[in-house]
Amino acid sequence: MAKQSKIVIIGGGACGPKTAARARRLDASAQITMLQDEELISYAACGLPYYISNVVKSHNALLVRDAAAFKKISNVDVLTATRVDRIDRSTHSIDVTSLAEGRHYSIDYDKLVIATGASPVIPPIKGIDLKGVHVLKRVPDADEIKVLINESASKKAVVVGAGLIGVEMVEALTARGLKVTVVEALSKVLPGILDEEISDLLADHITSKGATLKLGQKVVKFKGDNNRVSHVITDKETLEADVVIFAIGVRPNSKLAKEAGLEIGIFGDIAVNDYLQTSDPDIFAGGDCVANVSIITGKKMFVPMGSSANKHGHVIAANITGGRERFPGIVGTACVKVFAFNTGRVGLGETQALEAGFEVVTALISNHDKPTYFPGSKDVIIKLIVDQKTHRILGGQGTGPGEVIKRIDVLATCITAGMTIDTLANLDLAYAPPYNTSLDVLHHTANLVRNKLEGRTASISSDAAKKKIADGADFVLLDVRSEWESDNTWLEAPQVHLLPQPQLQDEMDKLDKNAETVVFCLQGNRAYQSSCTLKGAGFTDVKFVEGSLICWGKDGVCGEPVL
521 is annotated as an active-site residue:
no
Output phi, psi for 205, to 5 deg: -65, -40
- What is the pTM for the complete model shown? 0.93
How many domains does the chain divide into? 4
Reported as half-sphere exposure (CB side, CA atoms, 13 A), residue 285 has a value of 29
* Count helices and strands in the chain by DSSP H and E runs: 16, 32
pLDDT at site 2:
58
Q: Report the range of poorest mean pLDDT among 90-104, 362-376, 479-493.
A: 479-493
Q: What is the rounded average pLDDT of the residues 88-113?
A: 97
∠ at Cα 51 (48, 52), nearest 5°?
90
- Neighbouring C-beta atoms of residue 110, cutoff 10 Å: 15
- 160 and 184 in a single domain? The answer is yes
Residue from 15, 46, 289, 551 carrying the catalytic annotation? 46
Rounded Cα distance, 465 and 548, in Å: 10
> Can you give 424-482 as a three-state secondary structure string?
HHCCCCCCCCCCCCCCCHHHHHHHHHHHHHCCCCCEECHHHHHHHHHCCCCCEEEECCC
Burial label for 534, CB within 10 Å (0-12, 13-18, 19+), is: buried
Q: Where does the pLDDT of residue 153 fall: very low under 50, low under 70, confident under 90, or very high at 90 and above?
A: confident
pLDDT at site 195:
96
- 208 and 266 in a single domain? The answer is no
pLDDT at site 214:
98
- 486 and 530 in a single domain? The answer is yes
- 445 and 463 in a single domain? The answer is no
- 26 and 79 in a single domain? The answer is yes
pLDDT at site 118:
95
- 112 and 159 in a single domain? The answer is no
CATH number at residue 545: 3.40.250.10
CATH number at residue 200: 3.50.50.60
For the chain, give the number of residues. Answer: 563
Output phi, psi for 306, to 5 deg: -60, -30
Answer yes or no: is pLDDT of 45 > 90: no
For residue 75, the one-letter residue type is: N
- 88 and 170 in a single domain? The answer is no
> Please, are residues 7 and 49 in contact by the beta-carbon 8 Å criterion?
no
Name the DSSP letter for residue 79. E
pLDDT at site 436:
96
- 344 and 415 in a single domain? The answer is yes
- 144 and 233 in a single domain? The answer is yes
| Domain annotation covers residue 324 | no
Q: Where does the pLDDT of residue 484 fall: very low under 50, low under 70, confident under 90, or very high at 90 and above?
A: confident
Q: What is the rounded average pLDDT of the residues 127-134?
A: 94
Q: 42 - beta bridge partners?
A: none
Q: Are strands 496-498 and 82-88 parallel, antiparallel or unpaired?
A: unpaired
| Domain annotation covers residue 482 | yes
pLDDT at site 563:
63
Answer yes or no: is pLDDT of 561 > 60: no
pLDDT at site 1:
44
Tens-digit pLDDT profile for residues 170-218: 999 999 999 999 999 999 999 999 999 999 999 999 999 999 999 999 9
Q: Report the range of poorest mean pLDDT among 35-39, 58-62, 357-361.
A: 58-62
Reported as half-sphere exposure (CB side, CA atoms, 13 A), residue 172 has a value of 29
| Domain annotation covers residue 331 | no
- 194 and 141 in a single domain? The answer is yes
pLDDT at site 495:
94
> Please, are residues 136 and 165 in contact by the beta-carbon 8 Å criterion?
yes
- Check residues 553 and 437 and name the one with the higher pLDDT: 437
Nearest to 491 by CA among 516, 522, 517, 464: 522
- 94 and 198 in a single domain? The answer is no
The contacts of residue 207 (CB under 8 Å, 6+ apart) are 213
CATH number at residue 382: 3.30.390.30
| Domain annotation covers residue 353 | yes
Answer yes or no: is pLDDT of 559 > 80: no
Rounded Cα distance, 191 and 164, in Å: 10
| Domain annotation covers residue 169 | yes
The contacts of residue 512 (CB under 8 Å, 6+ apart) are 476
| Domain annotation covers residue 325 | no
Rounded Cα distance, 101 and 61, in Å: 29
Domain boundary pick from 221, 248, 275: 248
Output phi, psi for 406, to 5 deg: -65, -30
Mean pLDDT of the chain: 94
Burial label for 536, CB within 10 Å (0-12, 13-18, 19+), is: exposed
Tens-digit pLDDT profile for residues 504-526: 999 999 999 999 999 999 989 99
Output phi, psi for 248, to 5 deg: -105, 10
Domain boundary pick from 223, 248, 273: 248
Rounded Cα distance, 360 and 354, in Å: 7
Q: Are strands 238-240 and 243-246 parallel, antiparallel or unpaired?
A: unpaired
| Domain annotation covers residue 419 | yes
Q: What is the rounded average pLDDT of the residues 394-406?
A: 97
pLDDT at site 346:
98
Q: Where does the pLDDT of residue 412 fall: very low under 50, low under 70, confident under 90, or very high at 90 and above?
A: very high
- 39 and 73 in a single domain? The answer is yes
Domain boundary pick from 198, 221, 248: 248
Residue 352: give the domain boundaries.
340-453
Terminal alpha carbon distance of the chain = 68
Q: Where does the pLDDT of residue 262 fall: very low under 50, low under 70, confident under 90, or very high at 90 and above?
A: very high
| Domain annotation covers residue 464 | yes
Rounded Cα distance, 145 and 519, in Å: 50
Q: What is the CA radius of gyration of the chain?
A: 27
